[in-house]
Amino acid sequence: MIHDKTLDQWQHSHPLIADLVRLQPTTWFNPGLAPTAQALGDVPLTLADVDDASARLERFASYIASAFPQTAVSKGIIESPLLPLAQVQAALCAEAQVPVQGALWLKADNLLPISGSIKARGGIYEVLKHAEDLALAAGILQPGDDYASLDSDRARAFFGQYSVAVGSTGNLGLSIGIMSARLGFKASVHMSADARQWKKDRLRSCGVEVIEYASDYSVAVEQGRQQAEADPRCHFVDDENSINLFLGYAVAARRLQRQLEAAGIRVDAEHPLFVYLPCGVGGGPGGVAFGLKQIFADAVHCVFAEPTHSPCMLLGVYTGLHEQVSVYDFGIDNRTAADGLAVGRPSGFVGRSMQRLIDGYYTVPDEQLYRQLAQLEAIEGHRLEPSALAGLPGFLRVTGERQGYRQRLGLSAQRLANATHLVWGTGGSMVPDDEMQAYLAQGRTLLAGH
């Protein structure tokens, strides 16, 4: 029995489960999608909360520019470029034998400074928020101060009395660990078995304690949580439930709005914006989608992408079981080359509060991630890690769908011709060269055999 039903009963009541269990690429357009104005009420946060997070990151910009000189060019603001993907779009459309409709773009979070992934948004924000709370309460900082003063031995000695802990498949640990250690916190990262060796080495070289587990992400998180509970001076970054992580991701939306304007890209009912977000536990894509829905409302269509071996959010929302269900319950193994997405149980907070705001969910086989990793590198020169490729096939799932989704939403051929499809490229620039060469070799081999 799986949650009170046999697998047969599940497959009868939820037909897509058969495909998920057989690891078939699956696409599900959400019949529960609701008008944005109505569905935003499900989220216990507002645009004012996002703007507050954005203002906090601006207060910290002088500190960031001082502590991380690579951010001096952007004056301490951690942001990624918006890049056209016209050639890859043409190649993928030719391969699928479909006409090019709309325009494909990349949000290159692989290039985010400091930690090279989308976690440089939420992860770094949460550590900064915690540091600000402590420093203001202790009088180390006064409102209105120049936060560059935190890049000092005095501040580091203060933060050194406190610690930060997190459980991670790798990238969140990198962001939290690098930022915490730089501020002076004692940092410990509980790493799941999927985490790449170079991420552990990198963290240890920054003075972060890395605790390794032979098991998956959920176990690493639980161990981190327990360690932190035993120590009142330890702040646990709760990837499954943290409001601050979520808000840190959401800040991306306002900044993207400015980038779209600068690129002359319109977003409205006649010019829909589709955004394809790789999903692990859900906080990153959920936070970004929340920010985007606040700004673009019904004109933006957010779609989550997961590996066929780790479809936890699709399964959680589709069955309505959310964090009560794990992919293992259905015999799905949670083993994927997309280490950033190797999560078996979704965030209940994200699943529940975003379930009427997300247009759809789909799964991608690892071989396709590798193939597209090599294609993107060959055609456009962008180097993404496997997880970050999950968003690339999304536009073909939308334009080729036959579930009545486009019709239901009034997404006519004319509107699709005006559409912008945005692939959220969630990570890659920190991957060491030998590791990237191995990814590329794998992808090229698959392409040659295609």
Ligand X SMILES: *Cc1c(COP(=O)(O)O)cnc(C)c1O
Binding site for ligand X (CB under 6 A): 117-119, 171-172, 278-285, 340-341, 385, 387-388, 426-427
Least Å from the CB of residue 289 to ligand X: 11
- For residues 293 and 7, what is the distance between their CA atoms, to the nearest angstrom? 36
State which residue, 192 or 319, has the beta carbon closest to ligand X.
192
Report the first-to-last Cα separation within the chain, whole angstroms. Answer: 39
Least Å from the CB of residue 326 to ligand X: 15
- For residues 440 and 375, what is the distance between their CA atoms, to the nearest angstrom? 9
Least Å from the CB of residue 379 to ligand X: 21
Using CB positions, name the residue nearest to ligand X: 280
- For residues 40 and 297, what is the distance between their CA atoms, to the nearest angstrom? 9
Least Å from the CB of residue 58 to ligand X: 23
State which residue, 122 or 272, has the beta carbon closest to ligand X.
122
Q: Look at the block and give the residue holding tokens 């999927």.
A: 194
State which residue, 344 or 427, has the beta carbon closest to ligand X.
427
Least Å from the CB of residue 203 to ligand X: 14
State which residue, 171 or 188, has the beta carbon closest to ligand X.
171
State which residue, 155 or 343, has the beta carbon closest to ligand X.
343
State which residue, 283 or 360, has the beta carbon closest to ligand X.
283
- HSE-up (13 A, CA, CB side) for residue 17: 25
- The 10 Å Cβ neighbour count of residue 257 is 16
Q: Which two tokens stand for residue 222?
A: 């639980």
Least Å from the CB of residue 111 to ligand X: 12
State which residue, 33 or 342, has the beta carbon closest to ligand X.
342
Q: How far is CA 346 from the centre of its chain?
A: 13
Least Å from the CB of residue 117 to ligand X: 5
- For residues 172 and 166, what is the distance between their CA atoms, to the nearest angstrom? 8
**H helix or E strand, kind and range, residue 289:** helix 283-296
State which residue, 281 or 446, has the beta carbon closest to ligand X.
281
- For residues 314 and 316, what is the distance between their CA atoms, to the nearest angstrom? 6
Indicate the burial class of 436 (C-beta count within 10 angstroms; 0-12, 13-18, 19 or more): middle
Least Å from the CB of residue 392 to ligand X: 12
Q: How is 52-70 classified by DSSP, letter by letter? A: HHHHHHHHTHHHHHHH-GG
State which residue, 150 or 174, has the beta carbon closest to ligand X.
174
Q: Which two tokens stand for residue 120?
A: 């440089």
Least Å from the CB of residue 137 to ligand X: 29
State which residue, 26 or 62, has the beta carbon closest to ligand X.
26
Least Å from the CB of residue 413 to ligand X: 32
Sheet strands side by side (includes 273-278)? 27-29, 360-364, 300-307, 273-278, 420-424, 103-107, 82-84
State which residue, 162 or 276, has the beta carbon closest to ligand X.
276
Sheet strands side by side (includes 186-191)? 209-212, 186-191, 163-168, 234-237
Question: Cβ neighbours of residue 415 under 8 Å, at least 6 residues apart?
Answer: 269, 270, 271, 272
Give SS3 for 149.
helix
Least Å from the CB of residue 200 to ligand X: 15
**H helix or E strand, kind and range, residue 199:** helix 197-205
- The CA–CA distances, whole Å, from 291 to 273, 285, 302 equal 14, 10, 11
